[in-house]
């Protein structure tokens, strides 16, 4: 997910791992381990307790933390499709005026995971996905074909997000060689995980002189995941029922044609992992049937392609490499 491209894609984005790469929370490691006070020997567990332990993930164990995160992201069954769906609103923010709900948004991401092993980072999984984000009329919910820019008066063609692929890998060890740990919080019978991702990198639509004259891509993605602890830790289930919140702040979308005007766009959404792809809204299923037929399932589990982002997609369309869906008036 190049890492920056993974995160910028909308759910999927929406869906990068919240396992933090840091020192294990189980106690001292390395040279500090010799200085730790040894705990007294534990009494043998009764058979029923041992069975319960065997059926429950231990988030202090890196392999179990990885499995828990895989259950949030997708399924522990290799290549089993999983679908996320979310919706919300998009607002403008400019100095000296009230924020405006300029359109609504609805998104989906269909993905699967496959077990992999890396020579240096150990056991892991590869997630492959593709995602859509639709821009909709605030009053009617209709998928927009054009949009009237309220600051310029120009009617512009709307370019919906169709990022294919949005892939990433996660392992029991981070790039620094340390074990991963579970990056969320356990609050009674619920779990929550929050991830804030500031982005600042070369804009594919900008010039080669961005560091001199500006135009660098600048955004922030914010994710929240919620669910039941029992569901997350149950080794006998292959996926965890998960609610998701996704918010994003960024420069104006290229198709809005804001021509350098001050301000940003921000989106605030909520959604969930579906039990089945068919639980998508009729609006989204109609869009997929008519314009994005490949989005009935995830990419090939060994997909080698670079990740797509909405800015790269816009550039590919303008250069004739991708053809936009033809929408009826």
Q: What is the pTM of this model?
A: 0.84
Q: Are 159 and 314 in contact (CB under 8 A)?
A: yes
Residues of the chain with pLDDT under 50: 1-42, 44-52
State how far the Cα of 90 lies from the Cα of 303, in Å rounded to an integer: 32
Q: What is the pLDDT of residue 328?
A: 72
The CB density around residue 145, as the number of other CB atoms within 10 Å, is 15
| DSSP result, 98-160 | --EEEEEEEEEEEEEEEEEEETTTEEEEEEEEEEEEEEE-TTT-PBPSEEE-TTT--EEE---
Per DSSP (E only), the strands in the chain are: 20-21, 82-93, 100-118, 122-136, 146-148, 155-157, 161-163, 168-171, 180-181, 185-187, 190-201, 217-228, 243-250, 264-273
Q: What is the pLDDT of residue 198?
A: 96
State how far the Cα of 172 lies from the Cα of 179, in Å rounded to an integer: 6
Q: What is the pLDDT of residue 329?
A: 65
Is the bond preceding residue 44 a cis peptide, omega within 30 degrees?
A: no
Q: What is the pLDDT of residue 211?
A: 84
Q: What is the pLDDT of residue 214?
A: 81
Q: What is the pLDDT of residue 26?
A: 27
Domain ranges of the chain: 3-21+53-306
Q: What is the pLDDT of residue 183?
A: 84
């Amino acid at each position: 997910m190049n890492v920056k491209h993974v995160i910028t894609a909308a759910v999927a984005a929406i869906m990068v791992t919240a396992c933090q790469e840091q020192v294990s929370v189980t106690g001292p490691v390395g040279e500090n381990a010799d200085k730790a006070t040894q705990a007294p020997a534990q009494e043998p567990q009764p058979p029923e307790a041992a069975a319960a332990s065997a059926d429950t993930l231990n988030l202090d164990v890196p392999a179990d933390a990885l499995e828990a995160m895989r259950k949030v992201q997708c399924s522990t069954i290799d290549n089993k499709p999983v679908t996320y769906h979310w919706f919300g609103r998009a607002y403008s923010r400019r100095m000296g005026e009230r924020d405006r709900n300029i359109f609504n948004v609805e998104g989906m991401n269909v993905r699967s995971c496959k077990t992999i092993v890396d020579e240096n980072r150990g056991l892991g999984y590869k997630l492959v996905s593709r995602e859509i984000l639709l821009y909709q009329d605030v009053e009617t919910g209709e998928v927009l074909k054009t949009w009237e820019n309220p600051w310029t008066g120009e009617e512009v063609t709307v370019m919906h997000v169709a990022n294919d692929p949005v892939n990433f890998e996660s392992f029991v060890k981070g790039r620094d060689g340390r074990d991963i740990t579970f990056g969320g919080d356990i609050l009674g019978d619920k779990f929550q995980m929050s991830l804030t991702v500031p982005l600042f990198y070369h804009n594919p639509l900008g010039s080669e002189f961005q560091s001199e004259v500006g135009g660098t891509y600048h955004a922030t993605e914010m994710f929240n995941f919620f669910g039941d602890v029992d569901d997350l830790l149950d080794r006998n289930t292959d996926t965890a029922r998960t609610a998701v919140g996704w918010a994003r702040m960024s420069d104006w979308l290229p198709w809005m044609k804001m021509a350098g005007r001050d301000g940003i766009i921000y989106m605030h959404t909520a959604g969930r992992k579906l039990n089945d792809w068919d639980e998508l809204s009729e609006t989204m299923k109609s869009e997929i049937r008519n314009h994005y037929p490949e989005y009935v399932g995830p990419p090939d589990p060994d997909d080698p392609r670079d990740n797509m982002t909405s800015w790269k997609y816009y550039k590919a369309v303008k250069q004739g490499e991708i053809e936009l869906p033809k929408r009826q008036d």
